[in-house]
Amino acid sequence: MKILLMGNPNVGKSAFFSRLTGVRVIVSNYPGTTVEFTKGYLKLGEEMAEVIDVPGTYTLEPTSKAEEVATEMLKDGDLVIDVVDATNLERNLFLTMQLLERDIPVIVALNVWDDTKHRGIDINVKKLEQLLGVPVVPTVAVTGEGMKELVSRIHEAASPPVSHRTRDERWAAVGRIVEQVQTVTHRHHTWLEHLGDASVKPFPGIPIAVLVLLTSFMIIRFIGESLIVYISGPLFNNLWAPLMMRLSEFLGSGGFLHDILVGKLISGEIDFTQSFGILTTGLFIPFGVVLPYVLAFYLVLGFLEDLGYLPRLAVLLDTLMHRLGMHGYAIIPTLLGLGCNVPGILATRILESKRERFIVATLISIAVPCAALQAMVIGLVGGEGWHYVAIVYGTLFVVWIILGLILNLTVKGFSPELLIEIPPYRLPSPRILASKLWMRILGFLKEAIPIVMLGMFVITILYALNVFDYIANFAAPVVSGLLGLPREATAALVIGFLRKDMAVGMLGTLSLSANQLVIGSVVLAMFFPCIASFVVLARELRLKGMLAATGIMIVASLVVGSLLNLIL
Amino acid sequence: MISNRPITVAQMKAGERGRVIQITGGHGLVRRLEAMGIRPGKQITKVSSMLMRGPVTIQVNEAQLALGFGVARRILVELESK
């Protein structure tokens, strides 16, 4: 049996899905995360039923790509669980009416039930059930309340005869039902609602946004640094290093295999930032330095998502983003890109126009540094003084703006207008935050481990074969002439294609001046995406779009690098 | 009584309440807005608007929606007297 989970965007459908199937899926508070559908299984008596999380839709007369997908999927289902936001009965029932017209059994889940009480909404469930002619079960997906009852009543799902067929008839039917089952008592705004309204006003919304972003950055840095200083650093230095030293002795403290696995010994010791062996630096950078920052970043982002802040940020930034050829909603993939460019570029799918997807994806891959890169830049450049880190971030931000302005003027097509729902602020549930964090970390590890290992392997082999000397000679005029970097830095720039964090690590071994570190970091951030984002870029933008993006990247990074070299 | 000349949602001031009388737009926009709960007869409250023709936030029933300025200009409302 195939069960479809359907409902408006933003009704807690994804949380509902993970409760129902036990599969951990990413759930969020902003509409449109479920562009791709998720599948899971539910045990119904003896049978295993397939549960499909259909993209959120307002109507079965599709008005967007996601809604088209939803309408298509309805044809293959055997039963629909219609997830309804109990605090927004009228609009949600419009979809219910359309579902009832189809020849498919329906059961209604009145989700977000816990919110109705303090919002002064009273719904007569029995009466609603009677009027709709299908079972109606109040649920709170976040806590699991009502889920058992819903599952036990799935077999009662029905497809009652209906008289409404046109849009006007449907709205009339909805109106009659709402009038009979719902009473709303007036009540005062809660503090969360006051805060919600305040944060979409220019004042104090913009100061709030600045505060939120700065605080987020500081919290991420604090958590990241603490994890490195108290957990990952000691683990590597006290537990892993002695083990590696023994391996080094076993391999005879030198030789080809030693150099690949352990790397070079720095004054007789393993230096996790400079040895560059697969098992030393190759493990330390992704797990010791980058993972703590990735963890911190996704924790903070998940909190902002589930709180419902991101759509408000989209509203605040919409005017600016339109000048850059995007609309406010594009801030969501952009912020995701600050964690890792790959999910950021993938998330551009939530944008409707091809033009906007191209602009956002290109800007992400050029001017949005991923957490891995940021962790290394903060570690390396931060050692020279905080204002240097500020120069790196400031430059990338200016590049993001200027490049956006240029792309907006040159790329053909138009960017559609903002039209999104602003969910109420909800205090995030720790359980869902944790499971989302876990999913994202897992995704990061799956992406990172193979490429890091491959990257280190390729780098070590190329080193051994002196290939970098050859490339360095070839690229020396550009690298030292335009960018003012020593020719050895060429190797780092080439390695940036495999792993940017690793490449910044290599810059650290070259004893560069602070200004050179700044230039190197900026150029690395802009120049070529790492191979993982490159592949995703090619997939999302097609070959032509990817080539265009790459061309822009190379030109932009050289121009900006040269300018910095002149100014600094 | 002053007769209420219809104005657009873009022209409403934050905190003002009105009733939608017409959506002047293509079929696609009308349908999309309708499915999101904005249709003639509905009472809406303006929550805020951003500067420089930025998006407008409105409250419809229990939901808040953010509309681009261009969309907000296509929704005609009759203001309710306080």
Residue of A57, A63, A64 to mutate, testing the B interface (most B Cβ within 10 Å of its Cβ): A63
Q: Which of A315-329, A524-538, B67-81 has the lowest mean pLDDT?
A: A524-538
Mean pLDDT, residues B43-57: 93
Tens digits of per-residue pLDDT, A317-334? 999 999 999 989 899 899
For chain A, percent of residues with pLDDT exceeding 70: 96
User: Tell me, what amino acid is at A212?
Assistant: V
Supply the pLDDT for residue A100.
96
Q: How confident is the model at residue A31 (pLDDT cuts 50, 70, 90)?
A: very low
**Among chain A residues, CA nearest to B71:** A417
ipTM above 0.95, yes or no: no
Rounded Cα distance, A72 and A49, in Å: 20
Cβ contact, residue pair A311, B66, below 8 Å:
yes
Residue A107 has pLDDT above 90, yes or no: yes
Say which amino acid occupies B31: R
State the average pLDDT over residues A530-557.
87
What tokens does A22 get? 């036990």
Q: How many residues does chain A have?
A: 568
Which residue among A63, A171, A314 places its CB closest to the CB of B28? A63
Residue B36: the pLDDT is: 92
Strands B75-79 and B7-8 turn out to be antiparallel
A378 touches chain B (CB under 8 A): no
State the pLDDT confidence band at A23, using cuts at 50, 70 and 90.
low
A318 at the B interface (CB within 8 A)?
yes
A119 reaches B (C-beta below 8 A): yes
Q: What is the pLDDT of residue B41?
A: 93
Kindly indicate the confidence band of residue A24, based on its pLDDT and cuts at 50, 70 and 90: low
Give the minimum alpha-carbon distance from B3 to chain A in angstroms, rounded to a whole number.
28
Chain A residues whose CB is inside 8 A of the B65 CB are 419-422
Per cent of chain A over pLDDT 90 is 52
Per-residue pLDDT at A273 exceeds 50: yes
Distance from CA of A135 to the nearest CA of B (A): 24
- The answer to whether the Cβ–Cβ distance between B66 and A316 falls below 8 Å is no
pTM: 0.88
Name the H helices within A153-290. Answer: 167-181, 191-198, 202-227, 233-234, 241-250, 256-261, 281-283
Query: Which fold, A2-184?
Result: Rossmann fold (3.40.50)
Q: A420 and B28: CB-CB below 8 Å?
A: no
Q: A-chain residues within 8 Å CB-CB of B55?
A: 315, 318-319, 328, 418
The answer to whether residue B7 scores a pLDDT higher than 50 is yes
pLDDT interval class at A508 (50, 70, 90): confident
- Record the tokens describing residue A526, joined without a space: 């802009």
Give A457 to chain B, closest Cα distance, Å. 50
- Of the options 1.20.120.720, 2.60.120.260, 2.30.30.90, 1.10.510.10, the CATH number for the domain spanning B7-79: 2.30.30.90
Q: Is the pLDDT of residue A66 over 90?
A: no
Q: Which one has a higher pLDDT value, A399 or A274?
A: A399
Name the residue ranges covered by the structural domains of chain B.
7-79
Name the minimum distance, in Å, from the CA of B49 to any CA of chain A: 6
Chain B residues in contact with A319 by the CB 8 A cut-off are: 50-55
Least confident residue range of A233-237, A452-456, B69-73:
A452-456
* Chain B touched by A90 (CB under 8 Å): yes
Q: Is the pLDDT of residue B3 over 60?
A: no
Residues of chain B contacting A70 with CB distance shorter than 8 Å: none
- Are A419 and B53 a contacting pair at CB < 8 A? no
- Give yes or no for A352 touching B (CB within 8 A): no
Q: Do A63 and B57 touch (CB under 8 A)?
A: no
The Cα-based distances of A190 to A195, A303, A423, B4, B81 in angstroms read 9, 20, 15, 32, 26
pLDDT of A524 = 93
Interface test with A, best of B9, B50, B56, B67 (most A CBs within 10 A): B50
Of A202, A315, A421, the CB nearest to B36: A421
Of the CA atoms within 13 Å of residue A25, those in its CB half-sphere come to: 27
| Cβ-defined contact of A418 to B62 (cutoff 8 Å) | no
| DSSP, res A49 | E
Which segment of A160-164, A231-235, A518-522 scores lowest on mean pLDDT? A160-164
- Quote the pLDDT of residue A239: 95
Q: Are A65 and A16 in contact (CB under 8 A)?
A: no
Average pLDDT over all residues of chain A: 88
Domain ranges, ordered by start, for chain A? 2-184, 202-567
How far CA A133 is from CA of A111, A294, A551, B1, in Å, comes to 18, 49, 60, 47
Q: Which residues, numbered 183 to 212 in chain A, qualify as contacts with chain B under a Cβ-Cβ cut-off of 8 Å?
A: 196-197, 200-202, 205
Residues of B in contact with A94 (CB under 8 A): 35
Q: What's residue A448's pLDDT?
A: 66
Conformation bin of residue A412: beta by default, left when phi > 0, alpha when psi is -120 to 50: beta
Flag if B47 and A87 touch (Cβ within 8 Å). Answer: no
The torsion defined by the Cα of A27, A31, A37 and A41, in degrees rounded to 10, comes to 40
- As a whole number, mean pLDDT of residues A335-346 equals 87
Which of A71-80, A140-149, A257-266, A468-477 is predicted with the least confidence, judged by mean pLDDT?
A468-477
Of A61, A90, A418, the CB nearest to B68: A418
